[in-house]
Structure 1
Amino acid sequence: MNMGLHGHKGRKHPFYKSIYFAAIGIYTALKTERNVRIHAVVSILVLISGWVLNLTYTEWLFVLLAIGVTISLEMINSALERAVDLATEEYHLLAKQAKDMAAGAVLVFSLISIIIGAVIFLPRLIEILKLLKS
């Protein structure tokens, strides 16, 4: 049962509809995916911390890139899991591997994001702790 593409061959819709569909996708991810919500909450805390600690322009670029790619990968992972689940209800090794690899991609970039955050935030936090001790 292919409901998603049925009847839409060659149909073009206005650009604003593409934005609308994307916004629905983001809303759906936030509403249904625990990990997307976790990433969103952590991202908000990081953004507030960056504002309080007065990040440089370049640091903001790295922080925003890390946040954007991590949440995007999480959403792609969720979409892939749904597509695999739609394709088969039976256990299949290739389906498991596809899901595991997509989850692994999220984990790899999440770890890179943590390293980016540590490089940017730790020196400032250490400086604040030094000031508080003196």
Structure 2
Amino acid sequence: MRFIKSLKYAFRGIVYCINNERNMRIHTVAALYVFVFSLFFELSRERYALLFITFALVMMAEVFNTVAEEISDLMAPSFHPVVRIVKDMAAGSVLICAGFSVGVGICLFWQPAVFLQIWRFFADNPVMLVLLVLATALALVYIIAGPMGIRDFFKKKHVIK
């Protein structure tokens, strides 16, 4: 029973981070898009493992950044120079991780022939292009508004005056 409770608490922490941190939503959307487009590439199991580890590291860095921000705000609700430094360092760790993940992506995906294949796929399949555009629009709404903002939008009764 403890294990189930610990999973519940862990998922609650992840959901909190997604609901409250726009950058976490950016990371989740980026990971999803990279994974979907990775299907155009012939990646080995080892390369997929590297890709998933990279996703995990960036998202873990964002969670730890959120932890640092929440604890800092709790300890010093008003401005404090040390809190600013802690928050800046936590954000810097996410930036470092995200920057190196871009490097991993370049190493894994720099195959111009496949880029041309992807271009042709969407050029030859207008329905897929429309789906990509719609998915991108939905992803932007998710990133900007977040799950709670989307939920609140649909819960409101829209009355035309």
TM-score range, shorter chain: 0.7 to 0.9
Q: CA deviation at 1:54?
A: 3.1
The one of 39, 44, 63 equivalent to 1:56 is: 44
2:15 paired with 1:27: yes
Instruction: Provide the secondary structure at the position in 2 that maps to 1:52.
Output: coil
Q: CA deviation at 1:84?
A: 0.3
Higher helix share: 2
Partner of 1:128: 114
Q: Measured at CA, do residues 57 and 84 of structure 1 come closer, stay the same or move farther in structure 2, by a change above 3 Å?
A: same
The one of 14, 24, 40 equivalent to 1:36 is: 24
The one of 44, 59, 69 equivalent to 1:81 is: 69
Runs of 5+ unmatched residues, structure 2: 121-161
Instruction: Provide the secondary structure at the position in 1 that maps to 2:32.
Output: helix
Amino acid at match of 2:78: E
Instruction: Provide the secondary structure at the position in 1 that maps to 2:68.
Output: helix
Amino acid at match of 1:70: V
Deviations 1:43-65, CA, capped at 9 Å, x for gaps: 00011112232311111011101
Runs of 5+ unmatched residues, structure 1: 1-12
Amino acid at match of 1:89: P
Calculate the aligned-residue CA RMSD, in Å. Answer: 1.8
How many positions carry a matched residue from both structures?
119
Whether contact under 8 Å (2:18, 2:25) holds in the other structure is yes
Deviations 1:18-65, CA, capped at 9 Å, x for gaps: 010000111111111100000000000011112232311111011101
CA–CA distance in structure 2, aligned partners of residues 38 and 130 of structure 1: 26
CA–CA distance in structure 2, aligned partners of residues 36 and 30 of structure 1: 6
Give structure 1 regions of 4+ aligned residues with deviation exceeding 3 angstroms. Answer: 129-133
2:59 paired with 1:97: no
Deviations 1:58-114, CA, capped at 9 Å, x for gaps: 110111011001001101101110110011122221111110001000000100000
Q: CA deviation at 1:128?
A: 2.6
Identity of aligned residues (%): 27
